[in-house]
Structure formats: structure tokens, C-alpha cells
Amino acid sequence: MLKNEVAVATHRLTKRYGSIDALADLDLEIAAGEIFGYLGPNGAGKTTTIRLLLGLARPTEGSATVFGMDCWSDAVEVHRRVSYVPGDVNLWPSLTGFETLSLLGNVQGRVDVDYRDDLIARFGLDVSKKVRAYSKGNRQKVVLIAALMSRPDLLVLDEPTAGLDPLMEQEFRRCVHEAKARGQTIFLSSHILSEVEALCDRVAILRDGRLVEVGTLSEMRHLSSVTVEVTVAGDVPDLSQVEGVTAVQVAGQRIHCQVQGSIDPLLRALSAVPVTSLLSREPSLEELFLALYGEDRGERRAS
Amino acid sequence: MTASAEVSAVPPFQLERSPGSLIFRVSAGKAVRSGLAWGAVYGIMVASAALSYVSIYPHQAQRDQLELLFGSNHAASALFGPGNQLQTVAGFTVYKVSMTLMILGAIWGILLSTRLLRGEEDAGRMELLVAGQTTRPRATAQVLVALGLAVSALWAVTALVTVVTGRSSSVVFRVGPSLFFAVALSASALMFLAVGAVTSQMAATRRQASTYGAIVLGVSYAIRMLADSGAGLDWLRWLSPLGWVEILQPFTDPQPLALLCIAGFTIGLSILAVHLTGLRDLGSSTFRDRSHARAKLGLLRRPLGLSARLLRPSIIGWIVAVVLSALLVGFVAKAAGQVIRGSSVEQILARLGATSSGANSYLGMAFLILAVLVAFVAANQVTAVRGEESGGRLDALIARPVSRVSWLGGRTALGASVVAAAGLLAGLFAWLGVLSQSGGVSLGPLMKAGVNIVPPGLCVLGLGIAVFGLFPRLTTKAVYGYVAWSLLIEIVGGIGAVNHVILDTSVFHHMAPAPAVSPNWTAGMVMAAIGCAGAGAGLFAFRSRDLKSE
Ligand SMILES: Nc1ncnc2c1ncn2[C@@H]1O[C@H](COP(=O)(O)OP(=O)(O)OP(=O)(O)O)[C@@H](O)[C@H]1O
Ligand SMILES: [Mg+2]
């Protein structure tokens, strides 16, 4: 794999179902080796995007490429370098787990057999069982192992940990780190924000088929406010007029406020008073996510 | 003021009146609507048969002629059921509609009961309804009551139309016998609703449940076919549910005693269905297969091997059905042929170029049934293709380096091979059947007759693939609908006059009745070419569309 290669690129990618814009004008670029988080509420268009990337659905407009190859017209070539974990797991009920894995490995055309057996052991999957008899979580393990065992250049994961217990989720995170260490690219759609926060280099947030935000977590944090708690000795200064500072609450010597953008103006305003402690906390992805959707909900209600 | 009074009158929660009967109400709505619609179809068939008879054959002499031609024709009665008193409106009406409606009713019964009992469950809706409301055997019993209502609706509409038609001065059906006639027409639907209820409990999926039901129907048809073929096996009729319906003989010579068999069969199966429900888990079959198995990887190297493995049980089932039917046909050919000798059927076939013996004439008619079976084999292959897509399992293959064209092309080729094998085996086993009775028909013509029934199957397969490519969600309905339509046209067209444009739409109409006449290879090639064109169109369309689940 080339350094600085582009793993995934979409250009005005659009999918319409009747009059619904499931995905509208998506422009994304994901570099090889990146772990890219893809977030959005239910019905935002995450699965739609993934189906377009895999050539399971045809774009209404625009295009998508994976490693420079068109996702629709060069689908078979693309698929040699990609593995996919679907959001809805549908397998052949009469095959056993092992039969399923060996079928999917044969069809994929490349399998790291040692790694596969290692994964089976790590996920604790009983592969002699028929798929019909698996629980939801165990079915999820089958598709996860099937995707990881071929060590593809790009892993496309649609809510891969749905149904996994916390221990298995930890195991999954280890697998993702291993994949990254080997230079594989990962496209991860998820509802579990802590997972995305822990794993992803960059994150895109989608709503109603449109891209709302994309960037690294720290870039995104700049967009949101930081929570600051200051304790001063002496007079409490009036901070409500300071640039970027909102929601000022004073309790005795303690001041609690939100800072939007640069924290510099606040520090300058505080320079006149003796500060005994200053705590600032960046928002979690969850807070970011809720803030974004909180706003959107409000807007929608207003319109 | 009024507004607030109204608001406070509404209870805080809209409580379900009686949650225990929810399943009954949901099922009854669907079932009764379907029963009423099919009652209308039954009524139209009865009325049109009676009214066209009086308009086409106004004179007694013509009617007597009809009785002479078909009344004691064993080849025709093997296919369409026995004809009694064809010189009367009532006798002819019974003859013309009974077999068609018996088969349609049975198919309706199987599809409706497997849909309500198994389809809902496969879709996971049953779980929602059953949860906390009632026990599963009770839920099944509720659905069965709803199905009973559906048959009552079917009967009521049929009876009403028959009685009204009977008031026409040229027809004249009395009310009592008309009601009994409607009972006879509804009986096969009733019994096969119960059959579907039992297979719904035994099978692991709705598709499998319908297939089991279809096998019961096929066996019932074959048994009564033997009984009606004039080989002195009339008693066999008592062993077939369709035979019991024939024994009823409404209008001409009513035998209500057979109603006991029909009622006993239905009640017995209903009780069995409720009992079996209690023995199995939701979403599984009664005969639970082992949850662990040793891996057999032989066929799992490529997608086509997977298809072969998945389809193996159903392919074997269909091939066995074809082989047994062919054997049976060959077995009775000699006896049935002796009866036909010199009859109108032989004369008609002679005009088509037949030069051969009675047994050959009989086989010419009987291979039509085998052709229908082979067409169903083809239809089944197409629905299996769609099943992989609608169940979402195809995604796992197409998201890997498997081209759509090679996948669908492989499935189509597999289907075509199965159809061809079915045709050839039909020829071979019909010959074995004939041989066992020293029937005097040699292997060559029967193998040709076997090849002759392949093109209609290929045509159905190719057209089915075209629908799959273009309108995937219609696949199953379209392909089974087309085979059923073709069969219907052929049965109706075999008895009375049907517009030739309509006749031409039947895939079976273009097939020469080999071995009674030599096969029309040109027509065969055309049908095969239509199939190829359809498959090509399907492949082309499939290449450029989204994969669509349910
Ligand atoms: N085959 C289809 N036909 C019609 N509409 C569709 C189809 N598939 C998706 N949609 C619509 O497109 C929109 C996006 O759906 P999508 O499945 O991509 O959402 P998602 O982000 O994956 O949601 P979730 O988090 O619930 O999985 C939804 O409004 C959905 O109703
Ligand atoms: Mg989704």
C-alpha cells in the first residue's frame, strides 16, 4: 500500500429512494491507514453510504471510489481489497460457523488461517454450531471474524459491536488497533460514542443524509464550548462580558462557565485576580453529539 | 368548556378490548378478505361455465354428443376428473370447474395457512403478538378459527353466485343442491388449509412448509388420477383427499358420506397442528435438527457450490416427485390406452398427426402433467434465487469479489440443468413404467417426449429470471402465477372453446403432445430461445440495479 494513498473518496454522492434523500451530496476523503468514525442518528444515511461504497446499491448521482477504483463499475476489483460487516447479519442457517467462515474465506480469495483460528479463540466462538442455533451476538462474531481474517486493506464496519457483550467489545477494539498497526484503513459506523472516541482518528457526523461535521475530535472540540471552573482568592470578577464566555454561574469563590473558541480572553480577564485553581474540561463526543442534535432539533421545531 | 369535557372523557390509555383474541382478529381480517375474493373467482367460474354451456350447446343433440365424447373418456377423466351427465347443465358445470377449482383451492389453502401461521412467525411479527397475550397453541387455534371463517366466506360467495345463476331459466339449479355443490367446491380449500397448518408446524420456514403442502397435493392428485384412469382402481379414490371431493358428485349423484372423510381429515389435522405447536419453539421446526454438525466443506469453495448444497434437498424432492409421477404414468399407460382406443381423444390426436397406439395417446396427454411439474421445478429455482436476495444473504457474496453476472448466470445454469435432468428422467421412468406392464412403447419416443417437456420449463425459468432482474419484488408471484395461469388455460381450453390469443399465452399450449405425436422441435427451440432471451435480459437488468431485500 502506498503512503498517502486515498482509501475512500466520494464526490457529491447521492442516493434517493423515491422522494427521500437517503444521502445527499456527500463529499468525503479518507486517507489510507486512517480509522474513520461515521456517526448519525437513526435513518441518517450511514448504511446507505456503506451500501454505495460496496456497490450493493447504485448512486443516484455522484460517485465513490475506493483506492482509486469506482465502487460501482469496478466493484469486483474493489471487493478484493475490502471486507464488510453488515448492520443486519443474514447468513445461511443450515451452515455451521466453520462452514460459513470457510465459504466466505474461499469467496474472498484470501485468508490468514492462523489469524482466523486466533480470532475464533479470542472471541470464544463455537464454530461447530449451526448458524440457526447462534445467538445474535455469536452471529455478529461470525461476520466480524469473516471480515478480519482476510486482513483487507479497507474494513467497512456497520455497527460492528451490536449485540456483543462488553468483554467481546474490548476484544473488538484490540482487533481494530491491530488492524491499524498493520496499516489497514477502517470505516466504522457506530452508535457507541465511547467506542468511536476511543478508536477513531477522524469523525464525520451525518444528519438527514447530509454531512454536518467532519474532522478530528480536537478540531470538533474547538467548535464546541469548553467547561471551565475557576476558584479565585478575593473579589469575583465579572466575566459575563468577556468574549466567548457564556453561562456564568458564581457560587462563593467558585466560577463555573462555558467558553466558546479561544480561552485567551478569559485568561486575560482573570490575570488581575489571584487564581487558586483552574479546571477546564473538553466536551466528550457524547456532549458534542448531543449539542449538535439538540440544536438541530430546535431548528427543525422552529421551522 | 366542551373541549375540556371531551378531553377528560378519553381514558388515559387506549386499552385493547380483549388482548387474548388479538391474533384472531388480525388473522381473520386478512383471511376473510382473501376468502371473499376467491369466492368471487369461484362464482365467476361457475357462472361462466353454466352460461357458456347453454349458449354454446343450446340443443339436446349437441349435449348428448358431448356426453358421448367426454363422459366415458378415461384419459380426460384421469386429467380433469370424471364427467357425469354432461348432457345436463349441472353435470357439465361440475365437470368443467371441479378439477380447476379443486387445485386452485388447495393452493390457496396452503398459501394462506402457511402465510398466517408461518409467514408471520418468520417475519418475527408472531413474537410480538404472542408475547404475554396468550399461549402459542391457543394462538394457532385462533388462526385456525380465522381460516375456518375464510372458507365459510369462500363457500358463501360461491353458493350465492351459484344460486343466483341457477335462477336463470336456461340453467335451473335448485337451491339445496347448489349449496351442496358450493360445499364440494370449497372442500379442497378447507382440507388444504389444515394441511398447511400442519406443515407450518413441521417445517423450519414458510417456503419449506408450502413445499410440503404441495407434495401432499401432488400425491393426492396422482392417486385420484390412477383411480380415474379406468384401470379398475376406483377404490383408490378413497385414499386421496381430492378423491373424496370427486366422490361427492354434487348435482348428478350426491354422496354426502364422503363429507365424513373430509371433516375427519380437517378436524384431525387441525388438532394435530395445535398439538405440534406446543411441541416446538417459536421459529423452529418440530423435527429439530441437530444444532451442531461436522463441517462438510466440499461444495463450499465457490458460490455455485453453495447454491448446489443449499438447493440439494429441494432438488432431490422435486426430482423424486417427477420420477414417481412418470413411473405412475408409464404404469397405467397400457390400461388407459385400451380405453382411449377409438375415442374422440384419439381422433383429435390423429388430426394432429398421431399414428400410434392407445397407450401412446394416453401418454401424450399424461406428459402434459409432467410438463407442468417440470415448469414448477423451474419456478421453484427462480424463487430460490430471489430468496437469497430477499433474505439479505446475497449481500455477503456480492460484497466480496463475486460478480453479479457470474452469480446469477451460475444460478440460471444450475436451474436449467435441473429442468433438463427432470425432463430426461421423466422420459426414462415413464419408459420403465411402461416396460413393467409390457406396454409396447419403446425408449426412443419416450426419451424424446421427456426432452419435449424441457423447453416449457426453460421458458418459465428464463422469463422468471427476467422478472427477477427487472422487478425483483414481484418474482415469486409472477413466476408461480404464470405457471398456474398456463395450467388453467390448458385445463379450461381442453374442455371448451377458448380464444386462441389467450391459449397462446400458455407455455404448455405450444408443446406437442409427444409421444402421441412427434415433438415439435421448432416450437421447442423457440421456447428455449425465449427463455435464453429472458435470462439475458434478467442478467443485464440485475447488473445495474440495487440489491433489494424484502
Ligand atoms: N431500500 C430503501 N427504500 C426506501 N428508503 C430507504 C431504503 N433504504 C434506506 N431508506 C431510507 O434512507 C434513509 C437512510 O437510511 P439508512 O439505513 O442509511 O440509515 P442509518 O443511518 O443506517 O440508520 P440506523 O442508525 O438506524 O442504522 C432512511 O430515511 C431510510 O428510511
Ligand atoms: Mg444503519
Q: How many domains does chain A have?
A: 2
The last residue of one of the domains, among A180, A199, A220, is: A220
Q: What beta strand segments (E) does B385-458 contain? A: none
- Per-residue buried b or exposed e for B148-173, using 16+ beta carbons within 10 Å of the residue's own CB: bbbbebbbbbbbbbbbebbeeeebeb
Q: Are residues A253 and A213 in the same domain?
A: no
Better pLDDT: B34 or A297: B34
Within an 8 Å CB–CB cutoff, is residue A104 touching chain B?
yes
Q: Are A159 and A190 in contact (CB under 8 A)?
A: yes
User: Is there a domain that residue A168 lies in?
Assistant: yes
Q: Are residues A144 and A208 in the same domain?
A: yes
Contact residues, B window 189-228, toward A, CB-based 8 Å cutoff: 204
Q: How far is the CA of A45 from the centre of ligand 2 (A)?
A: 7
**What cell does A92 get?**
445461511
Within an 8 Å CB–CB cutoff, is residue A181 touching chain B?
no
User: Which residues of chain B make contact with A51, given a CB cutoff of 8 A?
Assistant: 546-547
Q: Can you tell me the mean pLDDT for A204-220?
A: 88
Q: Are residues A63 and A197 in the same domain?
A: yes
Residues B539 and B124: their CA atoms lie apart, in Å, by: 32
* Min distance B85 CA to chain A CA atoms (Å): 54
* Cα-based distances in Å from B233 to B219, B227, B230: 16, 5, 7
Cβ of A37 below 6 Å from ligand 1 = no
Strand A210-216: give its sheet, edge to edge: A82-85, A154-158, A185-189, A35-39, A202-207, A210-216
Q: Are residues A188 and A250 in the same domain?
A: no
Query: pLDDT-based confidence at A112, cuts 50/70/90?
Result: very high
User: Which residues of chain A make contact with B122, given a CB cutoff of 8 A?
Assistant: none
**What cell does B235 get?**
377404490
DSSP per-residue codes, B154-198: HHHHHHHHHHHHHTSTTT---HHHHHHHHHHHHHHHHHHHHHHHH
Q: Are residues A132 and A266 in the same domain?
A: no
Residues B201 and B117: their CA atoms lie apart, in Å, by: 8
Cβ of A47 below 6 Å from ligand 1 = yes
For the ranges A30-44, B404-418, B487-501, the lowest mean pLDDT is seen at: B487-501
Query: pLDDT-based confidence at A123, cuts 50/70/90?
Result: very high
Instruction: Look up the CATH number of the domain holding residue A122.
Output: 3.40.50.300
pLDDT given for residue B198 in this prediction: 95
Interchain pair B302, A56: CB under 8 A:
no
Mutate to test the interface with B, among A47, A92, A108, A150 (most CBs of B within 10 A): A92
pLDDT given for residue B59 in this prediction: 84
Find the closest chain B residue to A78 by CA distance.
Answer: B401
Q: Is the bond into B515 cis (omega within 30 degrees of 0)?
A: yes
Q: Can you tell me the mean pLDDT for B444-453?
A: 96
- The label of the residue with cell 371448451 reads B496
pLDDT given for residue B349 in this prediction: 62
Q: Is the pLDDT of residue A12 over 80?
A: yes
User: Is there a domain that residue A233 lies in?
Assistant: yes
Interchain pair B293, A80: CB under 8 A:
no
Q: Are residues A129 and A234 in the same domain?
A: no
Q: Is the pLDDT of residue B200 over 80?
A: yes
Close Cβ partners of B373 (under 8 Å, ≥ 6 residues apart): B218, B318, B321, B322, B325, B422, B426
**Long-range contacts from B474-478, C-beta under 8 angstroms, 24+ separation:** B475/B382, B475/B383, B475/B385, B475/B386, B476/B383, B476/B386
Q: Are B457 and B472 in contact (CB under 8 A)?
A: no
Q: Are residues A82 and A194 in the same domain?
A: yes
Within an 8 Å CB–CB cutoff, is residue A58 touching chain B?
yes
Find the closest chain B residue to A106 by CA distance.
Answer: B301
Q: Bridge-partner residues for A185, per DSSP?
A: A154
Span B127-159, pLDDT tens digits: 666 665 678 888 899 999 999 999 999 999 999
Longest dimension (CA), chain A: 76
Q: Are residues A169 and A24 in the same domain?
A: yes
User: Is there a domain that residue A60 lies in?
Assistant: yes
Percentage of chain B modeled with pLDDT above 70: 87
Residues B104 and B491: their CA atoms lie apart, in Å, by: 12
Residues B447 and B442: their CA atoms lie apart, in Å, by: 9
Close Cβ partners of A229 (under 8 Å, ≥ 6 residues apart): A254, A255, A256, A277, A278, A279, A280, A281
* Min distance A175 CA to chain B CA atoms (Å): 21
Residues A239 and A242: their CA atoms lie apart, in Å, by: 5
pLDDT given for residue B503 in this prediction: 84
Query: pLDDT-based confidence at B436, cuts 50/70/90?
Result: confident
Close Cβ partners of A61 (under 8 Å, ≥ 6 residues apart): A12, A13, A14
Q: Is the pLDDT of residue A137 over 90?
A: yes
pLDDT given for residue A300 in this prediction: 38
Q: Sign of the C-alpha dihedral, residues B421, B424, B425, B426?
A: positive
Question: H or E segment at A122?
Answer: helix A113-123
Residues B75 and B340: their CA atoms lie apart, in Å, by: 7
Within an 8 Å CB–CB cutoff, is residue B548 touching chain A?
no
Q: Can you tell me the mean pLDDT for B38-42?
A: 92
DSSP per-residue codes, B203-237: SSSHHHHHHHHHHHHHHHHHHHHHHHTTSS-GGGG
Strand A254-260: give its sheet, edge to edge: A245-251, A254-260, A225-232, A275-281
Residue of A79, A65, A62 lying closest to A155 (CA atoms): A79
Mean pLDDT over each residue of chain A, to the nearest integer? 89
Indicate which residue's Cα is closest to atom 2 of ligand 1: A17
Q: Can you tell me the mean pLDDT for B407-424?
A: 97
For the ranges A21-25, A52-56, A109-113, B231-235, the lowest mean pLDDT is seen at: B231-235
User: Is there a domain that residue A292 lies in?
Assistant: no
**What cell does B544 get?**
445495474
Question: Does the predicted TM-score (pTM) go above 0.95?
Answer: no
DSSP state of B306: H
Better pLDDT: A291 or A243: A243
- The label of the residue with cell 475530535 reads A217
Cβ of A45 below 6 Å from ligand 1 = yes
Close Cβ partners of B364 (under 8 Å, ≥ 6 residues apart): B349, B354, B449, B513, B514, B515, B516, B517
User: Is there a domain that residue A287 lies in?
Assistant: no
pLDDT given for residue B129 in this prediction: 66
Indicate which atom in ligand 1 lies nearest the CA of residue A44.
21
Q: Bridge-partner residues for A280, per DSSP?
A: A228
User: Is there a domain that residue A186 lies in?
Assistant: yes
Helix, strand, coil shares, percent, chain A, to 5: 35, 30, 35
The last residue of one of the domains, among A203, A220, A237, is: A220
Mean pLDDT over each residue of chain B, to the nearest integer? 86
Cβ of A193 below 6 Å from ligand 1 = no
DSSP state of B134: S
For chain B, how many residues are written? 550
Mutate to test the interface with A, among B291, B301, B389 (most CBs of A within 10 A): B291
Indicate which atom in ligand 1 lies nearest the CA of residue A40.
21
Q: Are residues A211 and A244 in the same domain?
A: no
pLDDT given for residue A140 in this prediction: 96
Q: Which of A14, A38, A47 to mutate to test the pocket of ligand 1 (most atoms within 8 A of CB)?
A: A47
pLDDT given for residue B232 in this prediction: 73
User: Which residues of chain B make contact with A56, given a CB cutoff of 8 A?
Assistant: 395, 398-399, 546-547
Q: Is the pLDDT of residue B250 over 60?
A: yes
Residue A56: which of B290, B293, B546 has the nearest Cβ? B546
**Long-range contacts from A254-258, C-beta under 8 angstroms, 24+ separation:** A254/A229, A254/A230, A255/A229, A255/A230, A255/A231, A256/A227, A256/A228, A256/A229, A257/A227, A257/A228, A257/A230, A258/A225, A258/A226, A258/A227, A258/A228
- The distance of Cα B510 from the centroid of its chain, to the nearest Å, equals 21
Contact residues, B window 299-318, toward A, CB-based 8 Å cutoff: 300-303, 306, 310
Quickly list H helices, B74-133. 74-80, 89-114, 120-122, 125-130
Q: Can you tell me the mean pLDDT for B50-68?
A: 82
Percentage of chain B modeled with pLDDT above 90: 51
Q: Are residues A214 and A235 in the same domain?
A: no
Q: Are B508 and B490 in contact (CB under 8 A)?
A: yes
- The distance of Cα B441 from the centroid of its chain, to the nearest Å, equals 30
Residues A283 and A289: their CA atoms lie apart, in Å, by: 10
Q: Is the pLDDT of residue B370 over 80?
A: yes
Indicate which atom in ligand 1 lies nearest the CA of residue A49.
18
Residues B203 and B194: their CA atoms lie apart, in Å, by: 14
Q: Are B352 and B512 in contact (CB under 8 A)?
A: yes
Residues B270 and B67: their CA atoms lie apart, in Å, by: 40
Residue of B361, B332, B337, B359 lying closest to B349 (CA atoms): B361
Residues B186 and B155: their CA atoms lie apart, in Å, by: 6
pLDDT given for residue B218 in this prediction: 87
Q: How far is the CA of A49 from the centre of ligand 2 (A)?
A: 9
Residue B396: which of A94, A104, A106 has the nearest Cβ? A104
- The label of the residue with cell 389444515 reads B194
* Min distance B284 CA to chain A CA atoms (Å): 9
Indicate which residue's Cα is closest to atom 8 of ligand 1: A48
Indicate which residue's Cα is closest to atom 22 of ligand 1: A47
User: Is there a domain that residue A300 lies in?
Assistant: no
**What cell does B334 get?**
397400457
* Cα-based distances in Å from B79 to B75, B364, B484: 7, 12, 15
Cβ of A43 below 6 Å from ligand 1 = yes
Indicate which residue's Cα is closest to atom 30 of ligand 1: A43
Indicate which atom in ligand 1 lies nearest the CA of residue A15.
12
Close Cβ partners of B448 (under 8 Å, ≥ 6 residues apart): B427, B514, B515, B518, B519
Q: Are A138 and A125 in contact (CB under 8 A)?
A: yes
The last residue of one of the domains, among A220, A235, A264, is: A220
Span B419-434, pLDDT tens digits: 999 999 999 999 998 9
pLDDT given for residue B346 in this prediction: 66
**What cell does B58 get?**
343450446
User: Which residues of chain B make contact with A133, given a CB cutoff of 8 A?
Assistant: 291-292
Q: Can you tell me the mean pLDDT for B410-425?
A: 97
User: Which residues of chain A make contact with B399, given a CB cutoff of 8 A?
Assistant: 54, 56, 79, 82, 84, 86
Interchain pair B392, A86: CB under 8 A:
yes
Residues B376 and B322: their CA atoms lie apart, in Å, by: 10
pLDDT given for residue B194 in this prediction: 97
Span B278-331, pLDDT tens digits: 887 766 666 555 677 888 888 999 999 999 999 998 898 889 889 988 987 887
Q: Is the pLDDT of residue B53 over 80?
A: yes
User: Which residues of chain B make contact with A57, given a CB cutoff of 8 A?
Assistant: 546-547
Q: Is the pLDDT of residue A279 over 70?
A: yes
**What cell does A50 get?**
456503506
Q: Is the pLDDT of residue A52 over 90?
A: yes
Under DSSP, is residue B146 helix (H, G, I), strand (E, B) or coil? helix
Within an 8 Å CB–CB cutoff, is residue B397 touching chain A?
yes
Indicate which residue's Cα is closest to atom 7 of ligand 1: A17
Residue A90: which of B301, B391, B400 has the nearest Cβ? B391
pLDDT given for residue A54 in this prediction: 96
Q: Which of A13, A19, A48, A161 to mutate to test the pocket of ligand 1 (most atoms within 8 A of CB)?
A: A48
Q: Bridge-partner residues for A187, per DSSP?
A: A36, A156
pLDDT given for residue B522 in this prediction: 96
pLDDT given for residue B169 in this prediction: 81
User: Is there a domain that residue A302 lies in?
Assistant: no
Interchain pair A92, B306: CB under 8 A:
yes
Residues B465 and A30: their CA atoms lie apart, in Å, by: 39
Cβ of A56 below 6 Å from ligand 1 = no
Q: Is the pLDDT of residue B108 over 90?
A: yes
Q: Are residues A136 and A266 in the same domain?
A: no
Q: Is the pLDDT of residue A74 over 90?
A: yes
Phi then psi for B423, rounded to 5 degrees? -65, -50
Q: How far is the CA of B70 from the centre of ligand 1 (A)?
A: 60
Q: Are residues A82 and A165 in the same domain?
A: yes
Domain that includes residue A115, residue range: 6-220
Find the closest chain A residue to B307 by CA distance.
Answer: A92
